Structure 1
Amino acid sequence: MVSSLMRYLPKTGSDICAFTFLLFSIHSIGIFELFIVLPSIYHSQSHATPTGGFSLYYFHVFMGFYIYFNVMLNLYLIITTNTSIKGRMLPSIIRPGWRFCAVCESNSPPRSFHCFTCKTCILKRDHHCTFTGNCIGLYNHRYYVSLVFYMCLACAYSCVLNFDFVYHLFGTVSVKSILTIMFPMISWIFYSGDSMTNVQVFMTSLCLVGFFLTGGLFVYHIVNSINGQIVHERTYNIKTYNLGWKENLALLLGKRWRIAWLCSLIKSPVPSDGLQYITREQYESLKTM
């Protein structure tokens, strides 16, 4: 089990550094929110009412573990899901839309491209994700978008909790407090706070930066998916496989795309074998028949 998992983990130095930073950010933010922020906001269980702070505290704890579970599950599924051409029966004759990969020494299906980091052709290759150390393709694209979504949700949730926390930390919301959060490195030079305050400011800033980064990534990739495009097709404005937003989302999240985003444990098979795709012209002709 361990050896089979190791072959999917990052191999290059940049991938290992990015993957390590991702794991550090996920767990440090989770620990910070659970053991520092929430106890600071709901510091007294005895003063909480059945419908007040005590119940809200456990609601936040539940939401935190739900988001954390989805983040780690999607990260695991991205790493362990095989979305390459390895183990597939490929034709020896090049079909229309196919290409020959000289590196793999085999024919490559439409929308598939070779990744020199993963050292194989990837089905419906979107991009190589440095933070997971793996390519994002047909069968793990759903998990990647879900990972970015839940990381964005985690950062947004943390920012909301941190607003109250920072208010109590500085005593007020002022220009100084905002600049301290936005530029923690500067605050460490000019702000004479203790080490614990510096850690709190850094973690709050990490949540804020993470929200903007993951939010931008999620918007970019969900727009691509709604338009039926991978990164290569968006770059060159290729709209050959745009079947409408519902069909496009089904290719991303699977046949049960309406609920598949709630949890990646929900079975939602992708309506494609990765070897052929319905083009826009073919789809329009089928609709008119």
Structure 2
Amino acid sequence: MLALRLLNVVAPAYFLCISLVTFVLQLFLFLPSMREDPTATPLFSPAVLHGALFLFLSANALGNYVLVIQNSPDDLGTCQGASSQRSQCPPPSTHFCRVCSRVTLRHDHHCFFTGNCIGRRNMRNFILFCLYTSLACLYSMVAGVAYISAVLSISFAHPLAFLTLLPTSISHGKRQSAERLGAVLGSDMFVILMLYLWFAVGLACAGFCCHQLLLILRGQTRYQVRKGVAVRARPWRKNLQEVFGKRWLLGLLVPMFNVGTESSKQQDK
């Protein structure tokens, strides 16, 4: 339990550090390199378009991250503590989390990167957080590949060029002068390592987002699947509306609190 509580503190700090490093690289490396194009118009220059898109993705990722924490699942005070008290809660839609020390409605899982349980109230914000984190990481990877390709004159035409980027950049630097090799082993090498990290995090978040969407279409949570709890068959549109609400398009573009239907709220009580 001590290890889980420690992970509950380390994982959010790790995510915030990665976010800060990404912002620094975008601001001081990628954007300045795009301003060097003399043929681009000031309004539609690559730097402006890249900055606007990255800001949109990052704002949605961090905004939904904050909402996941603020919009915590319901804390059922009568269900906390002893097992005799927890037995009063309806088992199909509630679960006692030992890390959070509380029982939440329609519990899905505990997310260590947010340090919070994912349940009925913040499920939509969590899915959008995974979606925009994946898009921001993959887009940062593309921008980083363009930067490395321009700085080190490395071609990515070969399908396996990205997988062999690290050894190729080291061998490329050894053929350069000692000063250039130091630069490769400095900021450029750090960017290359971040490319692999962005790629891994982007794929992981995308896969997790797709998995959660499939469970929502079936009207299930990860906790119900793990425990083998049977759920009532309903149309997939109602399952989506229960999580994303009626104003789903607005929530897709702007971070906002979850807007569930009244029937779904009454169903979980």
TM-score of the pair, normalised by structure 2: 0.80
The equivalent of 1:77 in structure 2 is 67
Q: Residue 101 and residue 256 in structure 1: after superposition, are their counterparts in 2 closer, same or farther (change >3 A)?
A: farther
By relative contact order (CA 8 Å, sep 6+), the higher-ranking structure is: 2
How many angstroms does 1:187 deviate by?
A: 5.5
Q: Is 1:172 the counterpart of 2:190 in the alignment?
A: no
DSSP 3-state at the match of 1:128:
strand
Distance in 1 (alpha carbons) for counterparts of 2:197 and 2:208 = 16
The equivalent of 1:48 in structure 2 is 40
Q: Residue 170 and residue 242 in structure 1: after superposition, are their counterparts in 2 closer, same or farther (change >3 A)?
A: farther
Alignment of 1:255-266 (within 5 A): 255-265=246-256
Distance in 2 (alpha carbons) for counterparts of 1:120 and 1:181 = 47
The equivalent of 2:178 in structure 1 is none
On the 8 A contact 1:139/1:270 being kept in 2, the answer is: no
Q: Residue 273 and residue 179 in structure 1: after superposition, are their counterparts in 2 closer, same or farther (change >3 A)?
A: closer
On the 8 A contact 1:242/1:248 being kept in 2, the answer is: no
The equivalent of 2:177 in structure 1 is none
How many angstroms does 1:35 deviate by?
A: 2.2
DSSP 3-state at the match of 2:76:
coil
Instruction: Extract unaligned runs of 5+ from structure 2.
Output: 175-180
Deviations 1:116-167 (A, max 9, x none): 1110111100000011111000101111101001101101222222232222
Runs of 4+ aligned residues of structure 1 deviating over 6 Å after TM superposition are none
How many angstroms does 1:34 deviate by?
A: 2.8
DSSP 3-state at the match of 1:197:
helix
Distance in 1 (alpha carbons) for counterparts of 2:185 and 2:25 = 17
How many angstroms does 1:104 deviate by?
A: 4.9
CA RMSD of aligned residues (A): 3.2
The equivalent of 2:104 in structure 1 is 122
Q: Is 1:13 the counterpart of 2:6 in the alignment?
A: yes
Relative to total residues, which structure has the larger helix share, 1 or 2? 2
Q: Is 1:203 the counterpart of 2:203 in the alignment?
A: no
Deviations 1:35-94 (A, max 9, x none): 2112213324x5422575x2x321221222222211221111111223133368x9xxxx
The equivalent of 2:56 in structure 1 is 66
DSSP 3-state at the match of 2:254:
coil
Question: Which among 123, 141, 161 is matched to residue 141 of structure 1?
Answer: 123
Distance in 2 (alpha carbons) for counterparts of 1:223 and 1:156 = 22
Aligned partner letter, 1:155: C
Question: Which among 19, 22, 27 is matched to residue 20 of structure 2?
Answer: 27
Alignment of 1:156-195 (within 5 A): 156-173=138-155, 178-179=162-163, 181=165, 193-195=184-186
The equivalent of 1:102 in structure 2 is 83
Distance in 1 (alpha carbons) for counterparts of 2:167 and 2:215 = 32
The equivalent of 1:36 in structure 2 is 29
Instruction: Extract unaligned runs of 5+ from structure 1.
Output: 1-10, 91-99, 279-289
Aligned partner letter, 1:131: F
TM-score of the pair, normalised by structure 1: 0.75
DSSP 3-state at the match of 1:178:
coil
On the 8 A contact 2:65/2:125 being kept in 1, the answer is: yes
239-248 or 219-228, which deviates more? 239-248
Distance in 2 (alpha carbons) for counterparts of 1:271 and 1:161 = 43
Q: Residue 156 and residue 239 in structure 1: after superposition, are their counterparts in 2 closer, same or farther (change >3 A)?
A: farther
Distance in 1 (alpha carbons) for counterparts of 2:216 and 2:30 = 36
On the 8 A contact 1:182/1:205 being kept in 2, the answer is: no
